[in-house]
């Protein structure tokens, strides 16, 4: 009997390690069930779930060229679709929320500046009026301006940290 990926076979646990269990298959070959493939829930100690000599049903996940066989116990169990936990529904159009931003309300994040989404001096929150779509040229000029501001701020901060070694020389 050849071992094929996706097939379910009976096997016997021959050894247990901290990272998984070795299972002897009907053809005499041995495969590994990684600890993450033993049960649906988190397994801290594999010895609490499996014992040496125990008969298990495993599903063949992969067969490598060097003869290594990857197995799974949890994928060998046939479960009806209804047993799987359902994901909570989100209202249409709602994205995940990261909670309040650092720096307090309206601070615009860790830099404290604002920005298009913050409530600071540059952004101002959402606009009431609908604007025309911006052209590539206007977007590019805004990007370059913002990039220049960031680079000059970064250069200023770096020069002040050098303490005179690499700063302006007179």
3-state secondary structure 51-84: CCCCEEEEEEEEECCCCCEEEECCCCCCCCHHHC
Half-sphere exposure of 16 (CA within 13 A, CB side): 14
Q: For the chain, what is the total number of helices (H) and then of strands (E)?
A: 1, 5
Identify the three-state secondary structure at position 116: coil
Give the Cα separation of 115 and 131 in Å (integer).
18
Give the Cα separation of 154 and 147 in Å (integer).
10
**Is the pTM value of this prediction over 0.95?**
no
**22 pLDDT more than 70:** yes
Domains within the chain, CATH numbers bracketed: 8-72 (2.40.50.140)
What number is the average pLDDT over the span 29-40?
A: 92
More confident site: 96 or 79: 79
- Structure confidence at residue 35 (pLDDT): 92
List pLDDT tens digits, range 35-78.
999 998 898 999 999 999 999 999 999 999 898 999 999 998 87
Greatest alpha-carbon pair distance for the chain in Å reads 84
- Structure confidence at residue 3 (pLDDT): 81
Give the Cα separation of 40 and 59 in Å (integer).
14
What number is the average pLDDT over the span 8-21?
A: 93
Angle (nearest 5°) at CA 59 between 58 and 60: 120
DSSP state of 48: G
- Structure confidence at residue 98 (pLDDT): 58
List pLDDT tens digits, range 100-136.
555 555 545 455 555 555 555 555 555 556 667 788 8
Query: Rounded to whole angstroms, what are the CA distances from 20 to 25, 50, 55, 62, 111?
Result: 16, 10, 15, 16, 46
- Structure confidence at residue 129 (pLDDT): 64
Write down how long the chain is: 170
When pLDDT is cut at 50, 70 and 90, the band that residue 162 belongs to is confident
More confident site: 22 or 94: 22
- Structure confidence at residue 71 (pLDDT): 94
Q: Which residues pair with 8 in a beta bridge?
A: 59
- Structure confidence at residue 96 (pLDDT): 59
Percent of the chain with pLDDT over 90: 36
**31 pLDDT more than 80:** yes
């Amino acid at each position: 009997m050849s071992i094929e990926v996706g097939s379910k076979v009976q096997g016997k646990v021959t050894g247990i390690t901290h990272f998984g269990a070795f299972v002897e298959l009907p053809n005499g070959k041995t495969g590994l069930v990684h600890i993450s493939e033993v049960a649906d829930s988190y397994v801290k100690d594999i010895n609490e779930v499996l014992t040496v000599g125990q008969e298990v049903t495993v599903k063949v996940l992969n067969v490598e060229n060097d003869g290594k066989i990857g197995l799974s116990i949890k994928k060998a169990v046939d479960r009806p679709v209804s047993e799987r936990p359902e994901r909570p529904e989100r209202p249409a159009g709602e994205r995940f929320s990261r909670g309040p931003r650092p720096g307090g309300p309206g601070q615009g994040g860790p830099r404290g500046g604002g920005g298009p989404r913050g409530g600071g001096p540059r952004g101002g929150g959402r606009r009431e009026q609908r604007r025309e779509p911006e052209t590539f040229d206007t977007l590019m000029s805004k990007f370059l301006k913002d990039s220049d501001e960031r680079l000059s701020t970064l250069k200023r901060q770096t020069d002040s940290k050098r303490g005179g070694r690499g700063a302006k020389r007179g």
